[in-house]
Amino acid sequence: MARYFEDVSAGDVYELDGRYEVTREEVLEFAEKYDPQPFHLDDEAAADSIFGSLAASGWHTASMCMRLLVDDFLEPETSMGARGVDELRWIRPVYPGDTLRVEVEILETRESDSRPEMGHVRTQLTGYNQDDEPVIAWKAMGMTRKRDAE
């Protein structure tokens, strides 16, 4: 059963089952395309950087966590996109060989003033590595369909 606006409440926590294995190949591929800074592309440059060794682009880390969200949290029946994100933080570097997982906490739910078929849902996402260290976090402003609207 899909999770509609009416089904989520502030304080709810979802520990998503999915895992994302970060590969060197994909770290390089993403960086070459979207973030070709030396510390995302080159081992020697990365060793001299704040990251210490080759690290994933922060946008890549966000994108990998988004994939976990789409697979295990957002649903085609109810997810209507997002207006934006606040307090996106790259807490620790993500390295090839890491495995990511995601937790989602519902922060706030609010009816839409202008669109009766949906509501606003603010969530706190936190991405962890295999050592249960947080590596990324953000607050999302999602739009979720109401069951009543059907």
Q: Which residues bind a copy of itself (CB under 8 A)?
A: 30, 33-39, 45, 49-51, 57-60, 62-64, 66-67, 70, 74, 76, 79-90, 138, 143
Select 74 or 102, whichever has its Cβ closest to a copy of itself: 74
Which is nearer to a copy of itself, 9 or 43 (by Cβ)? 43
Smaller CB distance to a copy of itself: residue 83 or 132? 83
Angle, in degrees to the nearest 10, between helices 24-34 and 58-72? 110
Contacts of residue 33, Cβ cutoff 8 Å, sequence gap at least 6 = none
Nearest approach in angstroms of CB 34 to a copy of itself is 4
Handedness of CA 113, 114, 119, 123 (dihedral sign): negative
When the beta carbons of 49 and 126 are compared against a copy of itself, the nearer one is 49
Nearest Cα neighbor of 18 from 63, 60, 71 is 71
CB of 44 to a copy of itself, least distance (A): 12
Is the distance from CB of 146 to CB of 118 less than 8 angstroms?
A: yes
Q: How many CB atoms lie within 10 A of CB 78?
A: 20
Question: How far, in Å, CA of 113 to CA of 132, rounded?
Answer: 39
Rounded least distance, CB 9 to a copy of itself, Å: 23
For a copy of itself, give the closer residue by CB, 9 or 117.
117
Q: How far is the CB of 109 from a copy of itself (least distance, A)?
A: 18
- Name the minimum Å distance from CB 87 to a copy of itself: 6
* Sign of the C-alpha dihedral computed for residues 85, 87, 93 and 94 taken in this order: negative
